Structures are given as C-alpha cells and as structure tokens.
Structure 1
Amino acid sequence: MKIDRIETLRLAEFPNLIWVEIVTEDGTRGLGETFFGASAVEAYIHDWCAPRLLGRDAMAIPARRADLKDYLGWRGAGVETRALSAIDIALWDLFSRVHGRPVADMLGGRSRDRIRTYNTCAGYRYVRGAQGQRVANWQADAAEGPYEDLDAFLTDAGELAQSLLDQGISAMKIWPFDPAAERSGGWDISADELKTALEPFEKIRKAVGDKMDIMVEFHSLWSPPAARRLAHALRDFDTYWHEDPFRLENLGDLREYARHTDALICVSETLPSVHAFRDYLETGVAGVAMLDLSWCGGLSEARKIAGMAEAFGVPVAPHDCTGPVVFATSCHFSMYAPNAMIQESVRAFYTGWYRELVDGLPEVSDGMIAISDAPGHGVSLHPDLVGRADAVHRVSTNFDGG
C-alpha cells in the first residue's frame, strides 16, 4: 500500500501539539502526534520526510524509518526525532487499521487487558494555550471543570488525594519544588521555600496515610547537589519515585543521587532513543524507564527500549502529559509490554480538552485503564478541526504517483 498523501494539522490554541496523518492510495489513514516546536516539526515533515515517504510502501515500517535516517539529529530529541516519532506512530496506526486489529495486538499481543494508572496532577490550562510548562502557565480556571488538580495539590493536597482514591486512583504525581527551582535557577532552596514545598506531602500522608503512592516530578530543574538535598528532605514521606531530579547530560550523576534516597529513580521522557536508555540502564540504579512515544522515536523504538529494560530487570512506565493520540497509543503499548508497570494519565485532560479534539479515547475506570478492540490506536481527530480559524493544515501529495 503506497503512501499517497501526508497531512499535518496544528491549532493555535494548542501551540505545541502537531498531528500527522499518513494516507494511502485507497484512503486508509494513520494518525500520529508529537509535542513541542510544532511549526518546526511541520516544516521538517513536509520538507524532508515527505519526499522520502511518498510513493513508498506504508506497511514496511522498518524500511520507512530507514528512509528517514539523517546525518544530523539522531542523538538528540530535537525536531528530527519528534517528527520521526509522530510518523512512526501514524505508520503503526495505519498498519493496524489495515489488518483490522488494535495496535496492542499488532505489536505482538497483549500482556494484560488493563493497567494501573496514576494521576499527574496538572490542571486544565497546563498545556492549553501555553508555550511552555513554567510556573507562569499554572493558572487555574475553575470554570473548566472539577479537576483543577494542579491548584489542588498546591492548596489542599490531602483533599485531592482523597478525591483520587474515591475514583480508585491510588497514585499521584506532583511537583511543588518548581517555583523555588525557577527562582534560584535550580541552585538553592530557602528554608521557607522548602517548608512550603513539603506541605503537600504532609497533607497527603495526614489525610490518607500510606494508601496513596506519591511520585515526585522535578522537571530536571535542579543541580545535583540541590537535588540530593531535596531527596533527604523527602525521606520521611516514603515517596514512590523521584523523576528527573536534574538534567541528564551525565547519566552517571544518578549513581550518587541514588545514595540519598530509597525512592525509585525514574528517568526520562527526555531520553531520545534506545541508545540513551542503554546508558541509563547501565548506571545500575535505574528504577523505572519512562519513555515518551512522541519523543523517543515512536512505537518502534519504544518496543526496543522496553525489551532492553526487561533484560535489565527494569519496568517501563510510558509518559503522558501532552496530547490525546500519544495517550491512547501509550495505553496500547502498556497493554503489550510485559514489563509495563503503570500508565500515566491526567484526569483534567482525558475528561476535558482531549475530548474536544478526538474520539475513541481509552477507558479510565476504578484506577485502571483499558483499551477497546477498535483497529489502530482507536483515536481519530474530530473532522471539524481542519476548518477552525486557528488551524494550520498542510498537505504533501505524491503528484507523480511514485
């Protein structure tokens, strides 16, 4: 089945999201997605990728990935890798739809029918309209809905924890240290800032005891010495994992960090390939391999990462705090990967703005996620999105027939 057309779509309301659809000669579509630098990814897809894909066999996914290998960009998580990730997701979706089976089945079969989820406590505006994920973009909007969880973990984390438990969700991720990191550049935290940042942990434990697993997100904002100080400060709260305590230019720094915490070390959606995850696993302190399908090279690369992590005895936990297509595809991947431990989700997203964009989302119920038997990853964009006033829709076509 030859690729006849490649389409991209982005919306000004969601400036970091971009969708790519790969369309074959018979009209079958595969949908992919990535996040950050949407206009740059769009240009790369149409200027570099499209001429190398149009007229080629969409079913030969490894061959199409080989077509896109470039002299530059293969070691980082830049535009090249993000574009490849979105295209790979679209190719797997198309491949699965042609065969009438879910992605989870086409990857090799399911390891489970449901997987535990944790709630990343973002709010409705965390991505919508935001060019970045800095503190300035944390604004709450009570009119959006009942799950303004970012504001909740800052103000009444105990009540938030109980709300999640009432829905069967027994794990949550918070990041109360970010304001101090932004103020100091990650070099220092004052006594008052530390006291304020620890209050959510105190409230959670007071309200629900050990019924809630608490993941700590550091967003790679801290210097290694400051991160070690925070690890000591958190020891009394029995935190579940510590995620990206500092930028991972030197993965070997994690060995020293591990000496200061009993929590699992979790990295990182920022690692771009199986080779980067090999370096992480070889530190000997890897607790969780968190991969992002839209930043690591797509499902093809994720499958290699999971297999390698399994050989090291390390679980994977797919990242999701971006868009609905990656969320759905990650859920399929979590059903497939034998060492998938837990799947990230954001209830403000999957009950909120995700539904404004797509149909066919996975079901989240009683703290677990399940997928349907719909072919592909099951998600499709609302057809009216292309006609929106803030839409940028671009098409590359195989005019010469390949």
Structure 2
Amino acid sequence: MKITAIETLIAREFENVIWVRIHTDEGTIGLGETFYGAGSVAAHIHDTLSPRLLGRNPLDIEALHRDMTALPLAHASTGAESRAVSAIDIALWDLLGKVCNQPVHQMLGGLCRPKLRIYNTCAGYGYVRNRDIRPVNNWNLGAQEGPFEDLDAFMTDAGALAENLLENGISAMKIWPFDPIARETGGLDISAAQMKRALTPFEQIRQRVGDAMDIMVEFHSQWNLTSAKRIANALEPYNPYWFEDPIKMTSTAALGEYARSTHVPVCGSETLGSRWPYKEMLDQDALGVVMVDLCWTGGLTEGRKIASLAETYHKPFAPHDCIGPIGFAAAIHMSFSQPNTLIQESVRAFYRGWYRELVTRVPTIEDGYVYPMEGPGLGVELLPEVFERSDLSVRRSEEAA
C-alpha cells in the first residue's frame, strides 16, 4: 500500500477547521483534522510534507511521524507545522483502523473502561467560529440561537446552568469569567470590584447546587503570575476542580511557583507541543493534570506518548476538545485507550449543534458519560453534503506519474 494523494478541505463557514484526506492505491482513505490557521496548515501540508509522504506506506505511522517532525520549526510548538503533522497523523490512524477493520482505540491497545465521564465546556454555538481567536472576541454571542448557549448562561446565571447540566447527568463544567477582566487590564492586575464580579458565577453555582457540580476554571494563559496567584487564592473557597493555563506556558519555574501557591491542581496545556515541554513541567511538579489537544500537539502518535509520560509521574490525563468533530472523535478514541484518562472535555453546543452539519455521526453522550466509538478507524466520515458545499475549497497533492 502507498499514499497516492493528500487532500485538504476548508469550508468558509467553518474557517478555522481544516480536514485532511490521505488517499491510497488500494482505495482506502484516512480522515484527519486540525483547527486554527487553516490556510497556513494547508500550505505546510502541500508545500513541505506531501513530497515527504507521497509514495510511502501509510501504515508506517511512527516513521512517517518522525520524518514530519524532524524538520525545523516542528519541535515543541503548536504552530502551523505541528497542526499539519497532527491532522495527517490522525488521518493515518484512521486509515490503519480501516485497513485492519478495527476502531482506532483498538489499534491503540483497546478499551480501558466501558464508559468515561465528560465535562461540559460552557461555550456557545458561535464560540471560536471565526478567525478572530482573541479571548472575548471569540465568544460570538448571539451568532445562533438554541438551547445550549452555555457561554451566555454562565455569564448571566451560572447557577441555573449548573442545575440544567445536572438534570442532564453532567456533573462537571468549565467556565472562564475572568477573561473579560484580563482584556480590560492586560492581565496585569485585578481590582477588588473586578474580583467580586468574576467570582459571581462560582457563588451562583455553589448556592444553587452546592458541591454536586465540579467546576473547572479556564484562564486562557492571560494573567501574569502575581495576579494569577491572587485569583487562585480568591477561588479556593469554591473548591474548583482544576485551574487551567493560568499563565503563559512559557516558564516552568513560574508555573511551578503558581502550583505551589494553591491546593487546586494545575491543568495544562493544549498550548504545549510534543512530549518534551510536558516532561520539563512534570519534572518540576508544575502540572497536576496533563491536558493535550491531539489536533495541535502531534496527533495520536504523540498524544499517547504524552499520556504514558504522565502516567510515569502518577498524573492523570485529560484530552482537550473545543475544536472540530474529527478531532473530538480522535480524542474519544485516545481517552478510552489510556489507563490514566481522568475525564473527557466536550461542548454540547458543538456536538448537539454544528458538528451534526458536517459528519456522519458524533460520539454517544448520555447521563454525563461518553461511550466508545464503533466501526473501523475513527468511525466517522464527512457527510456527502460537505463535498457539495459552494464555500468548500479543496487542494490536492498527488504522486508524480
């Protein structure tokens, strides 16, 4: 078997998402995906990676991954180069599963559990929908109406939202009410009045449902260390489940200082590329929960190595997902195959909303748990209607005749 063509697909309506299709001489096609900077990712795939992959055996995943990451600028980052590698790697695993007629989680070692707890990231239908990915700008409130506009809900009545989630069996939620204040102050400082405003959702949740809801706090790396420590201290009485990316993940020493200042575990980080920065942070006890986005950090090949690395430090693994439907499916397969997976991120405004416009199926989520994907490969394909969209642009690199 050999790779005969590599396609990239971008729909203007979903301009952050890029799909990759790996074609073979035997007719099997692998599907992958990544998110953000779709045009840059496509350029790297076709201009740099395709010449290295065309004509090769797609089942040699480890060797192909090494060749793709042995290039300048492809190390320890989540830039366009790493996202391109990630999308291709996911497609290769999808292809391998199809060739072997097994789901990807089986190819990764099989199921470690029959179901897995999820948490709801409280985004809305329009969240990160356009190219302006700056925090707060990317909220896009009111872009689409529906019952799961959870971002507006946590900013207006987080207690009612928590109650609604519990009624649906979901007992963990992630919110980011400090983001607007970080935009106001540049993340340099937070006043007493601003602190009180940002703490309101936590008060509402605890008053409405008590400790029945676990609360993850997302900071999007917007704060300096001094302010982040003050915020952590103010939040501790509300018993958060974790603090995610409180500062930029660029200083292990600073993150370690932050981790030592609070009893709440630090979760990080989808912004890290490859296992190497994770090891450095784990060595310094700067991470309590290891999070990875498979679409950014090197795909399933690198993701399982990061999960295993976390296990050697007795730390739990928690895949990130606030991106596209193929990445979500890949994360589900990874989560089920790793013994130290703690919990899986999900966004109900996505998997009950726009994901269904694009793919043949979404993972089954019931009563706060996700269940394994079935079928060969990832178990999901793009809908036929996607290929007929008027806003779809397709680029294809083929093996020379």
Into which bin does the TM-score normalised by the smaller protein fall?
Answer: over 0.9
Amino acid at match of 1:52: R
Determine if contact 1:361/1:378 at 8 Å carries over to the other structure: no
Question: Structure 2 matches for 1:357-376, cutoff 5 A?
Answer: 357-376=358-377
Match of 1:355 in 2: 356
Distance 1:264 1:394 in 2: 43
Aligned position for 2:56: 56
- Aligned equivalent of 1:35: 35
**TM-score under structure 2 normalisation?**
0.97
Q: Is the 8 A contact 1:6 1:396 kept in 2?
A: yes
TM-score normalised by structure 1 residue count: 0.97
Q: Distance in 1 between matches of 2:286 and 2:58?
A: 39
- Secondary structure, counterpart of 2:34 in structure 1: strand
| Paired residue secondary structure (2:113) | coil
Are residues 274 and 143 of structure 1, via their aligned partners in 2, closer, same or farther at CA, if it must alter by over 3 Å?
closer
Q: How far did 1:50 drift?
A: 0.8
| Secondary structure of residue in 1 paired with 2:33 | strand
Identify the residue that residue 336 of structure 1 maps to in structure 2. Answer: 337
- 2:200 is aligned to 199
- One-letter amino acid of the structure 2 residue matched with residue 138 of structure 1: W
Instruction: Report if aligned partners of 2:77, 2:271 keep a CA contact under 8 Å in 1.
Output: no
Does the 8 Å contact 2:332/2:373 carry over to 1? no
1:213-292 counterparts in 2 under 5 A? 213-292=214-293
Residues 138-177 of structure 1 aligned to structure 2 (within 5 Å):
138-141=139-142, 143-177=144-178
Output aligned runs, 1:109-120, within 5 Å.
109-120=110-121
How far the C-alpha of 1:283 sits from its partner, in A, is: 1.3
Alpha-carbon separation, structure 2, partners of 1:129 and 1:180: 22
Moved more, 326-335 or 259-268: 259-268
Question: Secondary structure of the equivalent of 2:15?
Answer: strand
Q: CA-to-partner distance for each residue in 1:26-85, whole Å, 9 max, x for gaps? A: 221111111111100001101111111111101111121233221333132211111001
Q: Deviations over 1:270-329 (max 9, x none)?
A: 010111110111112421000000111010101111111101000000000011111111
| Maintained 8 Å contact 1:181/1:222 | yes
- Worse-superposed segment, 113-122 or 140-149: 140-149
* Structure 2 Cα separation of the partners of residues 159 and 305 of structure 1: 37
Letter of the aligned partner of 1:80 in structure 2? E
Q: Distance in 2 between matches of 1:307 and 1:143?
A: 40
Distance in 1 (alpha carbons) for counterparts of 2:144 and 2:55? 48
1:213–1:240 CA contact under 8 A, matched in 2? yes
Instruction: Name the SS of the counterpart of 1:193 in structure 2.
Output: helix
Further displaced range: 140-149 or 260-269: 140-149
Q: Distance in 2 between matches of 1:119 and 1:156?
A: 16
CA contact (8 A) 1:126 1:133 kept: no
Distance change >3 Å, CA 276–CA 142, structure 1 → 2: closer
Note the C-alpha offset of 1:133: 4.4
Identity of aligned residues (%): 54
Alpha-carbon distance between aligned partners in 2 of 1:45 and 1:90, rounded to the nearest angstrom: 13
Tell whether 2:23 aligns with 1:12: no
- For 1:391 and 1:60, locate their aligned partners in 2 and report how far apart those are by CA, in whole Å: 31
The answer to whether the Cα contact below 8 Å between 1:142 and 1:148 also exists between their aligned partners in 2 is no
Counterpart-to-counterpart distance in 2, 1:316 and 1:372: 19
Q: Separation in 2 of the partners of 1:26 and 1:179?
A: 52
User: What letter corresponds to residue 67 of structure 1 in structure 2?
Assistant: D
Which residue does 2:65 correspond to in 1? Answer: 65
Unaligned runs of 5+ in 2: none
Distance in 1 (CA, whole Å) between partners of 2:369 and 2:174 is: 16
1:82 corresponds to 2:96:
no
Give the residue type in structure 2 aligned to 1:245: P
- 2:106 and 2:265 mapped to 1: Cα distance? 30
1:293 aligns with 2:294: yes
Q: Which residue of 2 aligns with 1:21?
A: 21
Greater Cα offset, 17-26 or 279-288: 279-288
**Quick check: 1:220–1:248 contact (8 Å CA) kept in 2?**
yes
Listed one character per residue, the Cα deviations across residues 112-150 of structure 1 (whole Å, up to 9, x for unaligned) are: 121000000000000223431421232322853100000
Q: How many equivalent residue pairs?
A: 400
Q: Distance in 2 between matches of 1:194 and 1:130?
A: 30
Q: CA 1:4–1:104 in structure 2 vs 1: closer, same or farther (change >3 Å)?
A: same
Equivalent residues of 1:243, 1:268 under 8 A apart: yes
Residue identity opposite 1:46 in structure 2: H
Q: Distance in 1 between matches of 2:290 and 2:373?
A: 26
